[in-house]
Amino acid sequence: MKRVIAIADRAALVSLKLLAALNLLFFLSFIFVLLLASRAHAEAPNCAGTDLLTALEKSDPAAFKKVETEAAAVPNGKGLLWKLEKPGEKPSYLFGTMHMTDTRVTTLPAAAQKAYDGAGTVIIETTDAMDRAKMMAAMASEPGLMMFTDNTTLSSLLSPDDAAALNKGLDARGIPPATVAKMKPWILSAMMALPACEVARQSAGEPVLDVKLASDAKASGKDVEGLETAVG
Average pLDDT, the chain: 81
Average pLDDT on 187-207 reads 83
Give the CA dihedral 179, 184, 186, 191, nearest 10 degrees: -10
DSSP classification of residue 117: H
Tell me which residue of 79, 75, 121 sits closest to 217, measured CA to CA. 121
pLDDT for residue 31 is more than 70:
no
- Give the model's pLDDT for residue 69: 96
Instruction: Name the residue with higher pLDDT: 176 or 46.
Output: 176
* Of 31-40, 84-93, 152-161, 199-208, highest mean pLDDT: 84-93
Q: Give me the percent of the chain exceeding a pLDDT of 70.
A: 79
Residue 88: the pLDDT is 94
202 with 92: CB under 8 angstroms? Answer: no
Question: pTM to 2 decimals?
Answer: 0.70
Q: How confident is the model over 98-112, as pLDDT tens digits?
A: 889 999 999 999 999
Binned at pLDDT 50, 70 and 90, residue 27 comes out as: low
pLDDT digits (tens, 9 = 90+) for 41-88: 445 456 777 889 999 999 999 999 999 999 999 988 888 999 999 999
Residue 158 pLDDT more than 70? yes
Beta carbons within 8 Å of 94's beta carbon, 6+ residues apart:
81, 82, 84
Contact 95, 80 (CB under 8 A): yes
What percent of the chain is modeled with pLDDT above 90? 38
Asked if the model's pLDDT at residue 215 lies above 60, the reply is yes
Question: For residue 224, which phi and psi values (nearest 5 degrees)?
Answer: -125, 130
